[in-house]
Every structure is written in structure tokens, then in C-alpha cells.
Amino acid sequence: MPAATELKSSQVALATAPKELPPGGSYCPSCATVFGPDHVDAFCDCGTWLLKIISGDGSFADAAVADAPPMAPIMDDSIPPMAPFMDDSPPMPTPAEPERADDPDTPAVKVRSVKPPSGTPCLVLYGPDKQPLQYFALTKDAMTIGRLDAVAGIFPDIDLDEWFDRPTIRKISRQHAIILRTRATNTFALRPLAGNTGTQLDAQMVQAQEDYPLKPGHRIILGGVIRLKFEIA
């Protein structure tokens, strides 16, 4: 593993916005790839959030925000409901209510994970209530962090997809970062991957493709929304 470097406060410079953009198109601020209006994904292939023109002055906004559907119309409830039909026949047995399919945008209720055995290096995932939500034991020399994309064949070791709703999870990259272990010293380091949507270690933003030593208590923020902490249980 390459030698780890000290924390740096500088960030990777974004690519210059294209001079010409097709109507309804979008572009990647990281790799400057331009997409046409038929590109429906809000993310670039490199995992970066796309931008597109939203006004005549050439200003840009996130592609997902610019493409958001209009608000549903308010239903008029001024019309009184129809009077119920009176039926004197004996009541029929009430059938069992079928189970409703899960909303794909709503994560299932998760049971908080039990803390691993003492001495286990792990990443702790924190929920919105700032309480530990899940413990991920670091059992391999390299463990990827990201979100599942079975179509693209991306299956991260630490899959955060099932723990958050779609608007939140899409703010991090499919392959966001790697946790590396050096067996000789049993030490760990964080390596953000190219095209990630932003990685913060404690109070500093860190650069892609560089290694940052991890110490117990170090906090990691992915995409500005998902919080983890490196711990020795």
C-alpha cells in the first residue's frame, strides 16, 4: 500500500463548464462529460452529480433538482361525499388484508446492530438521531464503501444503499472510498476514489486517490450526508 499522507484542506478542482450545452442537456463538473436531454440519470458514469442550465442567464443547478416533477394539484374537497348505501343484509366475513408491497423509496425499518466483540476494528454508521445504526467490521485488507448497483455490477463491501431513502443515498458515489489495512502494523487508512461526491475526514475535505491514516474516533462524512466513525470496539 502506498505511504499515507497527511490531511490536506485543498480539494480537487472541478472541470470548467462547457461553452455549449444541448437544450435540456447536462454536464459533469468533475470530468466535463456532456450528456444530451435523453440522459435520465442525475449522476455521471464517474459517480458525480450532474449539472444543467435552468435559466436563460446560463446558471446551472443539480440535474435532479432541475428535472423535479411539478407539485401535484390540490384536491378540492368542497364537494360533499355521497351518502352511504344502506344494506340490511348480514355482514360478510372480512377478508384478511393483503400485505402491501414495500415502497422502493422508503427503506425498511432496521434493527440496530449489536456492537462487535472487543478489539474489532470497525466503521460505525450513524443515523439521523446521531445514534449508532450499524457496525461494519473491517475484516479485509481492502473494503469498498458505496451503494449497490446490480445492473452495473457494483457490489461494495460496505453497502449503504439499504439504510437510506433514494434522495439521500444518491448523494454518495456507487464506489465512494476504500478502507485499507496494513497487516504488518495492523493500521488502517481511508482512500477516497476518483469521482466521489465529496469526502470529509473530521473537519477537512480530502482528495481522491490519496491515503489518509485512520485513528480511533476519526469521523468520515460522505457526500455531506452520511456519517461514519472509525472505532476499535
> Mind listing the pLDDT tens digit for each residue in 141-163?
999 999 999 998 999 999 998 88
First to last CA, the chain: 25
Nearest Cα neighbor of 54 from 20, 33, 26 is 26
> Mind listing the pLDDT tens digit for each residue in 61-114?
454 444 445 444 445 555 566 655 565 666 665 545 444 444 555 444 455 668
> By the 8 A CB rule, do 204 and 8 touch?
yes
> What's this model's pTM, rounded to 2 decimal places?
0.52
For the chain, helix, strand, coil in percent to 5 are 5, 30, 65
For residue 144, the SS3 value is strand
- Enumerate residues 6+ apart whose C-beta is below 8 A from 102: 108
Banded pLDDT at 199 (limits 50, 70, 90): very high
What domains are there in the chain, each with its CATH number? 12-68 (no CATH), 121-232 (2.60.200.20)
Sheet holding 219-222, edge to edge: 132-137, 121-126, 226-232, 219-222, 199-201, 204-205
